[in-house]
Amino acid sequence: MKININIQEHKSLRELVYDRLHELIVNGDIKPGTRLMEVDLAEKLGVSRTPVREAIRKLEREGLVIIKERKGAYVSEISIRSMIDILEVQSNLEGLAAYLAAYRMDKSQQEELFQIEKEFEKAVDGGDVNQISKVDEEFHHRLVQSSENAHLIHLLEQLNEHVIRFRYLYYQDIRRVEEMIPEHQSILDAIVESRAEKARNAAYSHIDKLKDMVLRGELQ
């Protein structure tokens, strides 16, 4: 199977290879525990081994790949403990982002977020997992950006690299996805009303419910 990369993008070959491997890992197309064979990947991507090796090293620094001495490179596993740790941090940071957004988000940004939420509802109705994922990520991205806190935005962007990996697991549960619609709405309503503490609690609860699913063993 050939893995396509978009050579039309204005990026170096190294960046294109990294972007493609990163996407395949976080989307779950390359499963946790899979060994990354440089020769095979280079052949599938239609490149030499050098950009593949460089991409794997970068993915290792981000925690998405583990390199074992004399054994090779493997996609890192997603442990229950890791998911809980990540969600504990995410719930608090996104709660802070929503708190700040309640003060800083302007009318046009609110309208954009409402439109994204409508698109999310449409995706849920259609049962399109890829579209649900895409729009949900955009909802959280816009919310975080509206905090207008550069350090907070940077921290959540880094964290999101790991969150996306197991987010696909609960997108398969339509009951959970349907529950997310009123949860998003609660966050939005609090922001529009400039009720910062309510927005914080709504955003925290939204992520905390996912943590509860992990603790109950529903995402294994």
* CB atoms inside a 10 Å sphere around CB 178: 12
Q: Two tokens at 41?
A: 């990947």
Q: What digits encode the pLDDT tens for the residues 57-71?
A: 999 998 889 999 889
6: left (phi over 0), alpha (psi -120 to 50) or beta: beta
Q: Taking a C-beta distance cutoff of 8 angstroms, is the pair 74, 34 a contact? A: yes
| Confidence class for position 129, pLDDT limits 50, 70, 90 | confident
Contacts of 20 (CB under 8 A, 6+ apart): 3, 4, 5, 45
Greater model confidence, 31 or 197 = 197
Give yes or no for residue 39 having a pLDDT over 60. Answer: yes
Q: Taking a C-beta distance cutoff of 8 angstroms, is the pair 47, 17 a contact? A: yes
Give yes or no for residue 197 having a pLDDT over 60. Answer: yes
User: CA–CA distance from 115 to each of 109, 119, 178 (Å)?
Assistant: 10, 6, 17
Give the pLDDT score at 10. Answer: 57
Q: What digits encode the pLDDT tens for the residues 64-108?
A: 899 998 899 999 888 888 889 999 999 999 999 999 999 999 999
pTM of the complete model beyond 0.85? no
Interatomic CA distance for residues 151 and 200, integer angstroms = 18
